[in-house]
Amino acid sequence: MDFIKKNLEEITQSIKIYAEKANRNYSDVLLVAVSKTFPVEYIKEAYNFGIKDFAENKAQELRKKAEELKEYDIKWHFIGRIQTNKVKYIVPIAEYIHSVYREKEIAEIDKIAKKHNKIQKILIEMNISGEETKGGISENELEDLLEIAKKYDNVKVTGLMTMAPYTDDEEVIKKVFCGLKEIKEKYVKNYPDLKELSMGMSNDYHVAIQCGSTMLRIGSSIFGKRNYNIGG
Ligand SMILES: *Cc1c(COP(=O)(O)O)cnc(C)c1O
**193 in a structural domain:** yes
Q: How far apart are CA 155 and CA 114, in angstroms?
A: 9
Q: How far apart are CA 226 and CA 29, in angstroms?
A: 24
**208 in a structural domain:** yes
- Distance set, CA 83 to CA 89, 99, 103 (Å): 10, 11, 13
Q: What is the pLDDT of residue 132?
A: 87
Q: How far apart are CA 97 and CA 90, in angstroms?
A: 8
**171 in a structural domain:** yes
Q: What is the pLDDT of residue 118?
A: 98
Return the best residue to mutate from 31, 62, 79, 199 for the ligand 1 pocket (most ligand atoms within 8 A of CB). Answer: 79
Give nearest CA residue, ligand 1 atom 11. Answer: 217
Ligand 1 atom having least distance to the Cα of 203: 7
Q: What is the pLDDT of residue 228?
A: 73
**20 in a structural domain:** yes
Give nearest CA residue, ligand 1 atom 6. Answer: 219
**228 in a structural domain:** no
- Distance set, CA 33 to CA 79, 213, 224 (Å): 11, 15, 12
The CATH number of the domain where 184 resides is what?
A: 3.20.20.10
Q: How far apart are CA 151 and CA 168, in angstroms?
A: 41
Per-residue pLDDT of the chain (232 residues; tens, 9 = 90+): 899 999 999 999 999 999 999 999 999 999 999 999 999 999 999 999 999 999 999 999 999 999 999 999 999 999 999 999 999 999 999 999 999 999 999 999 999 999 999 999 999 999 998 888 889 999 999 999 999 999 999 999 999 999 999 999 999 999 999 999 999 999 999 999 999 999 999 999 999 999 999 999 999 999 999 987 654 4
Q: Which domain holds residue 171?
A: 2-223
**90 in a structural domain:** yes
Number of structural domains, the chain?
A: 1
**230 in a structural domain:** no
Q: What is the pLDDT of residue 230?
A: 52
**127 in a structural domain:** yes
Helix, strand, or coil (residue 125): strand
Q: Cα Rg for the chain, rounded, in angstroms?
A: 17
Which residues, other chains included, contact 208 with Cβ-Cβ below 8 Å and sequence gap of 6+?
Answer: 164, 177, 197, 199, 200, 216
Ligand 1 atom having least distance to the Cα of 34: 4
**Size of the chain in residues:** 232
Ligand 1 atom having least distance to the Cα of 99: 13
Q: What is the pLDDT of residue 232?
A: 43
